[in-house]
Structures are given as C-alpha cells and as structure tokens.
Amino acid sequence: KIDPNDFRLSVAPMMDWTDRHCRYFHRLLSPHARLYTEMVTSAALVRGRQLRLLEHSQQEHPVALQLGGSDPGELAEAARLGAQAGYDEINLNVGCPSDRVQSGRFGACLMREPALVGDCIKAMRDAVSVPVTVKCRIGVDDQDDYADLQHFTETMLRAGVEILVVHARKAWLQGLSPKENREIPPLDYERVYRLKREFPQLVVIVNGGITSEEAVREHLMHVDGVMLGRAAYHDPYVLARIEAVLWDVTLPSRESVLQHMRPYVEAELARGTALKHISRHLLGLYQGEPGARGFRRCLSEGAHLPGAGWSLIEQAIAPLRAAA
Ligand code: FMN
C-alpha cells in the first residue's frame, strides 16, 4: 500500500549527476528524501547486460531506478532486474527531450503515445511488486492543452500508475536543446495542482524550479510531493533545510555532513575509486556561505592530483573552520 507521505520530498534523476556517490551524499543531507538514479535504458540492461548500472549502496534507500525505453517486454525485464537488485520503485522517463533519447523513441516524445506508455506500465507492473511510477511534462510541442495532460493521466491511471511526477513545463521536441527545455518553456504549477484536484487518488509530485524550503511548503499545500533537481545538486544543503522543516529535526552542520562522508570515501578509495568522482558532488555544499569559493576551488583542483584522498577534504574545510 502506497503512503503519500513517503513521497513528500525527492531528488530528481539527473544524467551524469545523480550517480551512486551523489546519492550517498544526498542521503546524508536528507534521511527521508526519495532518491532517483540517472536514467538507465532498458536496452543497456536487457540487451547490453550492463548490470553494473544497477550498483548502489544499502544506505541509499528509499531509492528509485529510472528507466528509459518504449518496448513493453524489454522494460518489464529491465524493471525485474531493477527490483531484484533492490530498488524500491521503478520510474519510467516520459519527460526527457534530448535528441539521442528521441531517436530511441523514449522520453518526452512518448507523451504523444499514451496508449503505448500504458502498455509499458502494465508490463512493468506485472513484472515487479514495487511501485511503477511515471515522470512526465505538462505537454509536448503543440500538444499542450490541459485536456492533453488529462487524457495522458487518465491513461496512466487505467494502466495502474499510482504516482506521477510532473515537470511543470512543456518540452519543445524540435529546436530546443535539453538545457533550453529546462529553462525556456514557462513553469505552470497551476496545471499540476489542477491535476491533483481532479485526480485526488493519484499521488502527484511537482517538479521544476523549486529551490527553497519556503517554496516546498507552498507546493505541499496543493500536491503530495516535490522533486528538486538542479537546486539539490548546486546547493545540496537545501535538502537538509527542507528535511529539518518537513520532519521537524535539527539541522546538521555542513561540516558534520562531510564528516559522515568519511567512511564512505575511504572505503571507495580502497576499492580504487578516484576521489574526484565523489568530491565533484560535494562542491556546492557551502553555496552562499563565506568561503564557498575557496572550498570549491581547493576540492576541484586538488582532486585531480595523483593520490588525492580524505586529507584534501580536511584541507578544504580548514579555512571555513577557522573563519567560524
Ligand atoms: N530527467 C529525467 O527524467 N531523467 C534524466 O536522466 C535527467 N537527466 C538530467 C540531467 C541534468 C544534468 C539535468 C539538469 C536535468 C536532468 N533531468 C532528467 C531533468 C530533471 O530530472 C528535472 O526534471 C529538471 O531539471 C527540472 O527540475 P529542476 O528545475 O528542479 O532542476
């Protein structure tokens, strides 16, 4: 049985960003947030047998695997592999507009084919017992009336979707880069709120442009959950502030969060992971604080040097500690 409370806060799937190191860090900042993997294509898992893409640590839970694809049989098999690997949720990407993704017929272009998405969802649901969820946009190209979103949502509900994440802007499939598609089409939160009013049984999560705990509070008056993408990456401490507000816990210091990374970093270094693959996700921790630039510079420059280890992180914090 799905508890909407479990979906109040999540961190968006982001290619090249939300890898397992990043998710481990975000988990320390927010013990309750739902974390999403980068998108993994069903073809990579099923045809390519790239099962290493499913690697994650036990501390990441609750963690969702995001899949990209449009072949019901292949997605069902990929979902099964994901559930078997321990993921708590399987999410289908129906919102990503990049060219590469369109050529394989998945991502946002699938909003034009709700029936096909419905078939994918049914096949995935038959294959796993964890929730199967969808992440979509409010529209694509000229298919951007509320009625289009309503029809898409009805089809998802019929296919058994109980949780829908909606990036509150449409995507232009021609002419805009993926980055422009995250900035240019205007945000329309009201459409997402309306969806929740009209489909109260559906757990609705709003995404797009959310950057503060105040904004989170406001959105939660209208929908079940919020999903943060870029803000969580560039200013990760916002996750701790939101956690403190939503779950009424005391705010940990930035430094204590970093110190909790230490055993993880040391274990990863011991298995041969280079520090830079972990430290790049930490660069924004002091965003907005005095000394943030020095911290960022020390970490980003030092992490490329051979043999970089935990002492580099201590070195990056030292001036901030002295200032405090
Ligand atoms: N959305 C997906 O559904 N799957 C992805 O793999 C994915 N990769 C992304 C990579 C980057 C670097 C960024 C910035 C966004 C990506 N997105 C992807 C979109 C985000 O999940 C999110 O919907 C979008 O950034 C809007 O939320 P925000 O304004 O909070 O960043």
Residue closest via CA to ligand 1's atom 18 equals: 14
96 part of the active site: yes
The answer to whether the beta carbons of residues 34 and 63 sit under 8 Å apart is yes
User: 1 Cβ partners below 8 Å, 6+ apart?
Assistant: none
Token pair 């507000």 is found at: 245
To the question of domain 4-247 being in CATH 3.20.20.70, the answer is: yes
- Mean pLDDT for 299-314 is 95
User: For residues 34 and 6, is the Cβ–Cβ distance under 8 A?
Assistant: yes
DSSP state of 202: S
Residues in the chain: 324
Residue 83 DSSP code = H
What global pTM score does this model have?
Answer: 0.97
- Whose C-alpha lies nearest to ligand 1, atom 15? 14
pLDDT at 26: 98
Residue reference for tokens 């994901």: 82
**In the predicted model, what is the mean pLDDT of residues 81-104?**
87
Residue 322: the pLDDT is 82
**Backbone φ, ψ for residue 65 (5° rounding):** -95, 125
Token pair 């943030």 is found at: 292
Measured CA angle at 170 (ends 164, 175), to 5 deg: 140
Q: Are 226 and 4 a contacting pair, CB within 8 Å? A: no
What does the pLDDT look like over 246-296, one tens digit per residue?
999 999 999 999 999 999 999 999 999 999 999 999 999 999 999 999 999
Q: Whose CA is nearest to atom 30 of ligand 1?
A: 229
pLDDT score of 24: 98
Instruction: Please identify, in words, the CATH class of the domain defined by 254-323.
Output: mainly alpha
Mean pLDDT of 76-82: 98
Q: What percent of the chain has pLDDT over 70?
A: 98
E strands, 9-112, are: 9-11, 34-41, 63-68, 89-94
Q: How confident is the model at residue 210 (pLDDT cuts 50, 70, 90)?
A: very high
Over range 217-245, report the average pLDDT: 98
pLDDT of residue 175: 84
pLDDT at 52: 96
Number of the ligand 1 atom closest to the C-alpha atom of 17: 12
**What is the distance in A from the centroid of ligand 1 to the CA of 167?**
9
Which of the two residues, 25 and 307, has the higher pLDDT score? 25
320 C-alpha to ligand 1 centroid (Å): 31
Query: Is residue 109 pLDDT above 70, yes or no?
Result: yes
Query: Which among 187, 205, 230 is the best mutation to test ligand 1's pocket, defined by most ligand atoms within 8 Å of the CB?
Result: 230
Each residue's pLDDT tens digit, 15-48: 999 999 999 999 999 999 999 999 999 999 999 9
CA of 72 to the centre of ligand 1 (A): 24
ipTM: 0.99
| pLDDT of residue 168 exceeding 80 | yes
Q: Whose CA is nearest to atom 11 of ligand 1?
A: 14
Name residues contacting ligand 1 (CB within 6 A): 12-17, 38-39, 66, 93, 95-96, 135, 167, 182, 207-210, 228-231
pLDDT confidence of residue 100: 65
Mean pLDDT of 315-322: 92
Q: Within the chain, which residue ranges are assigned CATH 1.20.120.1460?
A: 254-323
CATH 3.20.20.70 range(s) for the chain read 4-247
